C-alpha cells in the first residue's frame, strides 16, 4: 500500500522505516520483524563496534530474507580542555556516588582518530555484508566513502533538519533524505544549522524541503500511526521513519522502565537537552536533566560528555532506575502502545486505508 | 469541498479560517474576501476599541453577506513594579532616540480594570452586531460571558496548545478549538501550560488532542497550501486556520516592509521572543529582537511591555523600517506569496483535490 519511488528503490512493500535508535533498542528481532512486516528495519549502529555490527547482521539474516538497513554517525570534529572535563566529572560525581559507581581508573576519552578509524571499519562491514541501505546522522560522509558505498550498490540516506541541509544531502549524491522535524525524539541531526534555529515542525518543514530537492523525502518526528503516515504523504513525503512507536513495541530492546516512562508521558513532558551526550536531543525530562540543566552551557561536547555519562546510564539501566537514563522520545508519547510490530503495522495500514477512503 | 461538521456549524463552504491577526492586518477587505471565497474571515480585534470594532463590522457587512468572525484576547491578571518599568524604559530609550520618538509625557500603562471593562464592551458589540463566530486567545472567558454569547447563538472557538488546554476549552462549553502548533506565528496561546513546554509540532499535537476531545479541532501553525490542509484533515482536524498565508495577500493590511520580510525569509529565521509584548510570540528575527533578547528575562509582562514598545513599532512602521517592527510569522515563510485571497483559495482547493485523488 502507498507504493511509490521510495518503496521501489528500497524494495519494500510499505513506506514505513523503523528509526535506527542507537543504544541497544534495535534488537535483531525488532529489525527483522519490521522488514518481515513489509517495512524497512534499521540497525542503530552509531555506538556499535564493527564486530558487533557484523554479528548482528548475521543474526538478522537468520530472521528475515527481506532488506534491512543500518545507520551510522558521521564523525564530527570535537575538542575539549582538561578543565572542562574536570568540571563535568565534578558535577557528575554526586550522581555516580548515588548510583554506587566506583572507579579505580579515569574514564578513557575518545580521540578523533579512533572515531574516524571505527567509522571506516563500520563502512567496510556494511559493504562486505552487502547491507542494501545505509543512513547517516550528524552530517555527510566524505566523497570517497559515498563513492565507495554507491559502487557497491548501497542506497544512501542522509538526515536534514532544514532546507539548506536537505539541499546539501542531495548534492552529496545520496539517494533520499530523512527530514527530521522538531517533534522528533533523540539526537538532533542538524549539521549546518544551529540546533535551536533548526527546530521546525514537520507541517512546515516537509513542504518547504520537498519544494527544494528532487530525491525522495522521508518524514521523521512524532509519527505514530496511520494519521501521521497519510499526513506525511499529503505534505509531499514519500515515506515515514518512526522511532518512539517502535521503541515501546514488544520486540524492542529498550529497558522496561524506559518503555513505561514513554507509556505514561504526556506530549508536554519532553525537553531538548545536551546534558547526556553533549549534543542536543529530545527526551522525557527526568531527575538527571533537572539536576544537570543549569550546567548545560559548560558541559563538554559530543562525544566527550556522552563518554562521561555512560557509566551513569549503564548503572541506572541495570538498577531499573529511569531517573538517570536518557529517555529519548518524540512529542507523541500519548500515542505509544505496548504491542507487537505486526499489530502496529496492521493498525497503521488499516487506519491509513480508512483515512484515504474518507478524505 | 471537504465539508464536515465544522463547515456545517460555521455555515461555510471550505474548512479554511483566516487567522485573526491583530494590529491592522485583518482589513475589512481581507476578512470579506476570505468569507466571499467560502472560508471564514476573522477580525483580529484583540487591540481594538469597541467603537473601532463596531465600525469595522459595519464596513465588512457592506462587502460580504457571508458569515465572518472575530477574535478577542481574554484578559489576564498582570502586575508590574515601577522598577521593572523604569528598567525597560531605560533599555528602550536608545531605540526611541534612534527612531526620533520624542515624548513630553510618560506612557500611560493599562490597568486590569480598564482591560476587563474594554473586554466586556467588546463582547457587547459582538452580541449587538450579531457576529456569528467569536474566538478567544490567552484563555477561557468567564462562565457568564460564555453563557451570554451562547444565548445569543454565537459559535465559540477556544485556543489550545496542549491536550490539557484543549480539554479545558471543551469543558468550558466552547464549540470548537484551534490547536496551535509550535509552527505558528505570532503570540503563543498557552494559558495553563508553560510557554516552553507547549511547543508541540502539529504532527504530534493534532492526533493527541483529537483523541481527547469531541468538539471539532482546527489546526493552526505553518499551514499555507493544499498540502497543509489535507495533512491536517488526515491527522484528525476538521479545518485549518492560516495566518502567514493570508498576511502576504494583497488584501492584508500588513506593512509592505513586513510582507517583504516574510517573502524573503527562510524557515529557520523565526524565533520565539517576548521582547515586543511581554508574551512569547514567533516572528522573524530582526534588529529589535537581537538588541533586546539578552534582557528577555527582566522585561515586564503582557500587556505592559506591549504598551512600552508601541511607539517604537508605530514609528518603525511609519518610517517603512522593518528593524523595529514585530514581524510575526509562522515557520513556513518560503511558502508565502504575493497574491489575492481568491487566487490563494483556488490554489489551495485545486492542490487539495489533486492530493486527495493521488493519495
Are the C-beta atoms of residues B269 and B286 closer than 8 Å to each other?
no
- Radius of gyration of the CA atoms of chain B, in A: 19
Tell me, yes or no, if A221 comes closer than 8 A to chain B by beta carbon.
yes
Contacts of A244 in chain B (CB under 8 A): none
Q: Which residues of B272-310 are buried (b: 16+ CB within 10 A; e: fewer)?
A: bbbbbbbbbbbbbbbebbebbeeeeeebbbbbbbbbbbe
pLDDT score of A341 more than 70: yes
Span A120-127, average pLDDT? 98
Are the C-beta atoms of residues B109 and B85 closer than 8 Å to each other?
yes
Nearest-by-Cβ selection for A227 from B183, B234, B271:
B234
Is the predicted ipTM greater than 0.85, yes or no? yes
pLDDT band at B104 (very low <50, low <70, confident <90, very high): low
DSSP letter at A285 equals -
Span B116-140, average pLDDT? 98
Q: Convert the pLDDT of each residue in A287-331 to its tens digit.
A: 999 999 999 999 999 999 999 999 999 999 999 999 999 999 999
Nearest-by-Cβ selection for B356 from A228, A330, A359:
A359
Among the residue ranges A355-359, B177-181, B201-205, the one predicted with the least confidence is A355-359
DSSP letter at A127 equals H
Tell me, yes or no, if B199 comes closer than 8 A to chain A by beta carbon.
yes
Span A114-136, average pLDDT? 98
B:91-150 residues touching chain A, CB 8 A cutoff: none
Contacts of B234 in chain A (CB under 8 A): 227, 230-231, 234, 355, 359
Joined grid coordinates for residue B297: 528575562
Q: Convert the pLDDT of each residue in B232-289 to its tens digit.
A: 999 999 999 999 999 999 999 999 999 999 999 999 999 999 999 999 999 999 999 9
Name beta bridge partners: B68.
Answer: B41
pLDDT reported for residue A104: 61
pLDDT reported for residue A197: 84
Fold of the B5-358 domain: TIM Barrel (3.20.20)
Q: Alpha-carbon distance A124 to B359, whole Å?
A: 39
Span A19-29, average pLDDT? 96
Q: Alpha-carbon distance B102 to B115, whole Å?
A: 27
Nearest-by-Cβ selection for B201 from A203, A235, A269:
A203
pLDDT score of B322 more than 90: yes
Q: Alpha-carbon distance A214 to A95, whole Å?
A: 48
Q: Convert the pLDDT of each residue in A222-257 to its tens digit.
A: 999 999 999 999 999 999 999 999 999 999 999 999
pTM of the predicted model, to two decimals? 0.97
CA triplet B285, A281, A131: central angle to 5 degrees?
A: 120
Are residues A201 and B224, on separate chains, in Cβ contact within 8 Å? no
Interface test with B, best of A163, A234, A331, A347 (most B CBs within 10 A): A234
What residues contact residue A291 under an 8 Å CB cut-off, 6+ apart?
A95
A:155-174 residues touching chain B, CB 8 A cutoff: 162-164
Are residues B230 and A232, on separate chains, in Cβ contact within 8 Å? no
pLDDT score of A107 more than 90: no
Span A347-356, average pLDDT? 97
pLDDT score of B1 more than 80: no
Q: Where are the domains of chain A?
A: 5-358
Span B22-51, average pLDDT? 97
Instruction: Work out the percent of chain A whose per-residue pLDDT is above 70.
Output: 99
Are the C-beta atoms of residues B313 and B276 closer than 8 Å to each other?
yes
Span B104-126, average pLDDT? 92
Distance (Å) from the C-alpha of residue A8 to the closest C-alpha of chain B?
Answer: 17
pLDDT reported for residue B107: 85
Handedness of CA A221, A224, A229, A230 (dihedral sign): negative
Amino acid at each position: 500500500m502507498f507504493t511509490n519511488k521510495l518503496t521501489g528503490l528500497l524494495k519494500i512493500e510499505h513506506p514505513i522505516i523503523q528509526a535506527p535508535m542507537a543504544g541497544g533498542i534495535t534488537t535483531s528481532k525488532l529489525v527483522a520483524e519490521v522488514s518481515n512486516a513489509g517495512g524497512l528495519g534499521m540497525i542503530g549502529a552509531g555506538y556499535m563496534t564493527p564486530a558487533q555490527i557484523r554479528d548482528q547482521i548475521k543474526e538478522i539474516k537468520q530472521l528475515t530474507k527481506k532488506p534491512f538497513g543500518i545507520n551510522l554517525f558521521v564523525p564530527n570534529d570535537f575538542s575539549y580542555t582538561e578543565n572542562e572535563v574536570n568540571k563535568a566529572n565534578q558535577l557528575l560525581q554526586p550522581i555516580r556516588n548515588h548510583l554506587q559507581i566506583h572507579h579505580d581508573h579515569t574514564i578513557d576519552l575518545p580521540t578523533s582518530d579512533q572515531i574516524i578509524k571505527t567509522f571506516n571499519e563500520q563502512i567496510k562491514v556494511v559493504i562486505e555484508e552487502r547491507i542494501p541501505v545505509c543512513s547517516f546522522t550528524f552530517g555527510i560522509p566524505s566523497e570517497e566513502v559515498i563513492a565507495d558505498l554507491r559502487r557497491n550498490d548501497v542506497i544512501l540516506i542522509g538526515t536534514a533538519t532544514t532546507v539548506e541541509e536537505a539541499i546539501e544531502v542531495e548534492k552529496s549524491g545520496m539517494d533520499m533524505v530523512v527530514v527530521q522535524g522538531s517533534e522528533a525524539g533523540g539526537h538532533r541531526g542538524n549539521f549546518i544549522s544551529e540546533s535551536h534555529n533548526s527546530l521546525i515542525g514537520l507541517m512546515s518543514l516537509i513542504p518547504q524541503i520537498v519544494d527544494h530537492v528532487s530525491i525522495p523525502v522521508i518524514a521523521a518526528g512524532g509519527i505514530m500511526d496511520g494519521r501521521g503516515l497519510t499526513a506525511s504523504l499529503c505534505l509531499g513525503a514519500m515515506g515515514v521513519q518512526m522511532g518512539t512507536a517502535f521503541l515501546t513495541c514488544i520486540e524492542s530492546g529498550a529497558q522496561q522502565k524506559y518503555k513505561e516512562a514513554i507509556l505514561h508521558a504526556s506530549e508536554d513532558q519532553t525537553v531538548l537537552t545536551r546534558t547526556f551526550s553533549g549534543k542536543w536531543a529530545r527526551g522525557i525530562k527526568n531527575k538527571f536533566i533537572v539536576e544537570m540543566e543549569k550546567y548545560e552551557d559548560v558541559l563538554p561536547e559530543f562525544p566527550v560528555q556522552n563518554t562521561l555519562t555512560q557509566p551513569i546510564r549503564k548503572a541506572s539501566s541495570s538498577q531499573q532506575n529511569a531517573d538517570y537514563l536518557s529517555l529519548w522520545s518524540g512529542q507523541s508519547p500519548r500515542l505509544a502502545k505496548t504491542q507487537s510490530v505486526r499489530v502496529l503495522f496492521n493498525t497503521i495500514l488499516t487506519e491509513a486505508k480508512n483515512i484515504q477512503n474518507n478524505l
